[in-house]
Amino acid sequence: MIRKAGFLMLWLCSAAAQAENQKVTLFLSAQHDRVNPAAALSTPNRELLAFIESETGVQFDRKFVPWKRALQSAIEGKGFVFGASQTPERLQHLVFSEPIYIDNVWIVTRCDTRFSFNSIADLKGKTIGMIRDAYYGPEIAKAVNFVFTPEYDVNDSISRFDKLLKHRTDGLLMYTQLTDPRALEDLVNMQYGRLASQENPVFRERPFCAQGKPVHSGSLHFAVTPGYNDAYLKELNKALIKAAKTGRLAKWYIQPAAKG
């Protein structure tokens, strides 16, 4: 009986070890203004991750941390990072999956202090809110501290819009899949318009405006240090290609990545 119990214990330990091996660490950006960091994960992203888990048979061990730590953890070989864009510096340290979707960078301002934007030169002398260590495209990267002054923020949208209302910034850079500036205005005024009424009760109904065109557009990916788990990266890419070819990405995202 003791011998059977011993075999059972060994089997259970082996099964537990196999289950543990079927997990991959995934670092995701946490928003500081969220009580529950996981709430920052959109419905399309949740559906994508569930689809990948189903296709690969591997579960994600999700870790919500500040964006800088998420990137650095991937570079240090501690797991994958979700939602990374390709930059010259990152390409030196990370390999990227097939693209997931296209994100746009917009400038959001107060409507009563809106300025004309047609090129980066129009930001001359402005103070622009940016999330530290986020990438907003090559033109913005070159213009920081030369054309405009950056006001670096943590990933806390309430704090960022509060700075805008208090004239500490002339505008802020915001990532979104939305392609229509009016739709973006509807979204930010719905989510953060109450901050304006708290600042000034007679503030107009739509306190925030978006510029007429995005500053930058780029694809987002999973990323990992080379050699961390090449076999899983291959399966992950298969799942992403399938999601693109079967129309799932088009169903989930406003701007899905091109088919692989």
Q: What does the pLDDT read at residue 6?
A: 52
Decide: pTM greater than 0.85: no
Domains of the chain: 24-101+219-252 (3.40.190.10), 103-216 (3.40.190.10)
Distance CA 98, CA 220 (A): 9
Distance CA 173, CA 106 (A): 6
In tens digits, the chain (260 residues) has pLDDT values of 555 555 445 444 443 444 445 899 999 998 755 445 555 678 999 999 999 999 999 999 999 998 899 999 999 999 999 999 999 999 999 999 999 999 999 999 999 999 999 999 999 999 999 998 899 999 999 999 999 999 998 888 889 999 999 999 999 999 999 999 999 999 999 988 888 777 666 666 789 999 999 999 999 999 999 999 999 999 999 999 999 999 999 999 987 766 54
User: Please, where are the H alpha helices in the chain?
Assistant: 2-21, 43-56, 67-75, 138-143, 157-165, 181-199, 230-245, 248-252
Q: What does the pLDDT read at residue 40?
A: 64
